Structure 1
Amino acid sequence: MIDAHVHADTRPYEDFEKMAVAGIETAVTCAHDPLRMSVSDVVFDHWNRILNNDIKRAAENGLKLYAALGIHPRSISEDFERALEKLPSFLENDSVVAIGEIGLETASESEKNIFKEQLQLAETLKMKAIVHTPRSNKKEITWITTSIIEENIDPKMVVIDHVDCTIVNDVIDVGAMLGLTVQPKKMTPDEAVSILDEYGFNKFYLDSDMSSSPSDPLSVPKTVHRIKLAGFNEKDIRKVSNDNAAKFFEL
């Protein structure tokens, strides 16, 4: 199994062992806003921690951890231009498989401009992009997000994450990969099963988005268990729990 969106820097050492024991072999940890990113140096420290600390912590517990780096919409520093300038050099690390997590939180002009710049960078570098959708005003901001994606990058290079029943109809035909985030207060395993039952397994992968918010490091295997109980075949289960993410990120 692959958990395709985590925030490893906010989790204790023991969570990686729990994931490995439950059958998760690989995960992708994304840049986010663990601190107040007041200046770009804090952003750089965050990226360096992911690359130099969290990947090692996961490996010591039998979990292969890859990274996505970028400027989250909640981590825009006053001197964000420095972070944008140095981002390409961080992306050269062999463990980095995508730019992310990027996107919009409130759809301010600053957020939209920085989102566009990072999508254009992904397009230039032919890298995948992990795109955030927010909890608040989700439907409206997702519509703006998809419009920006379509104007700046081939949607096939993008995963739109945190998809739930409120926006799935709006993103199903965009052409992007879609992340089903199963997390307390976001979506239950049974809600994920309902989406897969209606829309099929080809366009989705599962992730936990485990962070400092209410989280479950085992949400992916628990969801796989619910999918099995619902009677779906092993091929489709493997698609959404492993193969789609592996193919998208070329793992």
Structure 2
Amino acid sequence: MHMVSRSTNDYERARLAGVECCIEPAFWSGTDKQNAGSFFDYFEQIIDFETRRAERAAGVDHYVTIGLEPKEANYEEMAERVLDRIPDYLDRDNVVGVGEIGFDQGTEAEEYAFRRQLRMAEERELPVIIHTPHTDKPEGTKRIVDIIEDEDVTQERIVIDHNTENTIDISTQTDCWIGFTLYPGKIDADTAIDLLEEHGTDKMLFNSAADWDPSDPLAVPKARDKMLDRGWDREDVRKVVLENPYDFFDQSPNFTYEI
């Protein structure tokens, strides 16, 4: 959940809906950054202030993943400076992984940043959140899988996110985890639940972007309730919205939340 873009009231609402812990991936924050220092200020904000705000607002455990997201990887000189500094942030106490990384337009600069950050995560045995592109999504997802295989990184520590009915067959051919982002323009809850009915729940997890656009910080609790309303067994629902994401991030040495 990109809670840096949400109000304190949203933390309170999420906590009342059963959200006790959230992961905040670094992402494109609405406008292209013009200086490497803007990234460093942003990383500090989500690592430090946002973590304290989550606890102060609603007693929510807040963790962070750090990465140069693909859109701004295309500013190559700036991106190089950011990539050089990312390892410093990966050693911070509440940083539990690398991400979001992946593709936006599918450029060579994006691929360079993607490969480099995959290697950073592999060296530190950290989980990785991968952003599949908004356009040409099936082809972009195939390219992501090819790069993962080419870099020979640990697929069990990777979640391929933003899956749709057009990418699920590609993602499930890997040993990666499969993420569905419940968000307008990505996938709605009913479609995601349909895909779970077809493909099962192993390594499947729901998340919500909850960013500045029309989105919902309660998307996962609402999907949980839809699954129950559709007759899903409570333990299977718990697996998708709690146990799977917990098991994925529990691979990080900095993830200390307990269920």
If the length of structure 1 is used for normalisation, what is the TM-score? 0.95
Instruction: Find the counterpart in structure 2 of residue 67 from structure 1.
Output: 64
Partners of 1:214 and 1:166 lie apart in 2 by 23
Instruction: Find the counterpart in structure 2 of residue 174 from structure 1.
Output: 174
Residue identity opposite 2:147 in structure 1 = I
1:78-105 alpha-carbon deviations (Å, 9 max, x no partner): 3222211111111111111110011111
Superposition deviation, residue 75 in structure 1 = 2.4
Instruction: Find the counterpart in structure 2 of residue 3 from structure 1.
Output: none
Superposition deviation, residue 45 in structure 1 = 0.9
Within a 5 Å distance, the mapping from 1:191-210 to structure 2 comes to 191-210=191-210
Partners of 2:28 and 2:183 lie apart in 1 by 18
Q: Is the 8 A contact 2:71 2:105 kept in 1?
A: no
Which secondary structure does the structure 1 equivalent of 2:119 belong to? helix
Instruction: Find the counterpart in structure 1 of residue 140 from structure 2.
Output: 141
Within a 5 Å distance, the mapping from 1:1-251 to structure 2 comes to 6-34=1-29, 35-60=31-56, 61-76=58-73, 77=75, 78-152=77-151, 153-250=153-250, 251=255
Residue identity opposite 2:124 in structure 1 = L
Q: Is the 8 A contact 2:129 2:159 kept in 1?
A: yes
Partners of 1:87 and 1:229 lie apart in 2 by 43
1:11-46 alpha-carbon deviations (Å, 9 max, x no partner): 111111110000011110011111422221111111
Residue identity opposite 2:8 in structure 1 = Y
Q: Is the 8 A contact 2:97 2:127 kept in 1?
A: yes
Which secondary structure does the structure 1 equivalent of 2:123 belong to? helix
How many percent of aligned residue pairs carry the same amino acid?
32
Residue identity opposite 1:138 in structure 2 = K
Which secondary structure does the structure 1 equivalent of 2:23 belong to? strand
1:86-135 alpha-carbon deviations (Å, 9 max, x no partner): 11111111111110011111110000011000001111111111000122
Which secondary structure does the structure 2 equivalent of 1:75 belong to? helix
Q: Is the 8 A contact 1:28 1:65 kept in 2?
A: yes
Which secondary structure does the structure 2 equivalent of 1:24 belong to? coil
Partners of 1:103 and 1:145 lie apart in 2 by 7
If the length of structure 2 is used for normalisation, what is the TM-score? 0.92
After the TM superposition, which of the residue ranges 34-43 and 213-222 deviates more from structure 2? 34-43
Q: Structure 1 stretches (4+) deviating beyond 3 angstroms?
A: none
Superposition deviation, residue 185 in structure 1 = 2.5
Partners of 2:80 and 2:104 lie apart in 1 by 19
| Unmatched segments (≥5 aa) in structure 1 | 1-5
| Unmatched segments (≥5 aa) in structure 2 | none
Partners of 1:186 and 1:159 lie apart in 2 by 16
Partners of 1:86 and 1:230 lie apart in 2 by 47
Q: Is the 8 A contact 1:73 1:102 kept in 2?
A: yes
Which secondary structure does the structure 2 equivalent of 1:134 belong to? coil
Partners of 2:176 and 2:238 lie apart in 1 by 19
